[in-house]
Amino acid sequence: MPRAHREIHTDTPPHRVHAYLADFTNATEWDHGTVSCELVEGDGSPGSVYRNVSRFGGREVEVMYTLERADFPHVELTGRNGSTTLHDRIDVREHGAGSTVVYDAELTLSGPLKIATPVMSALFGRLADQTERTLSDAVGSL
């Protein structure tokens, strides 16, 4: 199962970073692959659903994400489309006067796509590296 773990340090206070990341529509700014992200059900609290369109592997992919948790310091989302499930866990920790963002993402493939796991692992890792940079820039400019 492809997995990514990244830690980002910023001078931005943790509650401000958490509020920004808990609003998943902001993914267009901090997630390198996200092209669009819109709230389609709910009010942004747990149980809300977002339509996320991302560029991955050279094509655009639509994933429906559900916000599972958004209580400080945690943000958890589960995304699904066809034979793909994504589980993102974000923790925002105090780090001096600023924050450390701990980002974990897992990609689970099923059905015919499962055979592509090695290739998807490489693509997922590359996307995580790019997202580490855009996430750092985004939370650093809050």
For position 130, which CATH number holds? 3.30.530.20
- Give the SS3 label for residue 100: strand
Which of the pair, 68 or 120, is modelled with greater confidence? Answer: 68
pTM (predicted TM-score)? 0.89
Rounded to an integer, the average pLDDT of 4-21 is: 96
pLDDT tens digits, residue range 86-137? 999 999 999 999 999 999 999 887 776 666 555 566 666 676 777 889 899 9
Which structural domain, as residue segments, surrounds residue 74? 3-140
State the CB neighbour count (10 A cutoff) for residue 85: 16
End-to-end CA distance of the chain: 33
What is the token pair recorded at 134? 């855009």
Question: Helices 117-140 & 14-22, crossing angle to 10 degrees?
Answer: 130
Q: Which pLDDT value is given to residue 126?
A: 74
CA atoms within 13 A on the CB side of 135: 26
Which of the pair, 128 or 79, is modelled with greater confidence? Answer: 79
CA 66 to chain centroid: 12
Q: Which pLDDT value is given to residue 14?
A: 97
Q: Which pLDDT value is given to residue 109?
A: 76
- Give the SS3 label for residue 129: helix
Report the number of distinct structural domains present in the chain: 1
pLDDT tens digits, residue range 14-66? 999 999 999 999 999 999 889 999 999 999 999 999 999 998 777 898 999 99
Q: Which pLDDT value is given to residue 59?
A: 81
Rounded to an integer, the average pLDDT of 72-86 is: 94
Residue 81 pLDDT exceeds 70: yes
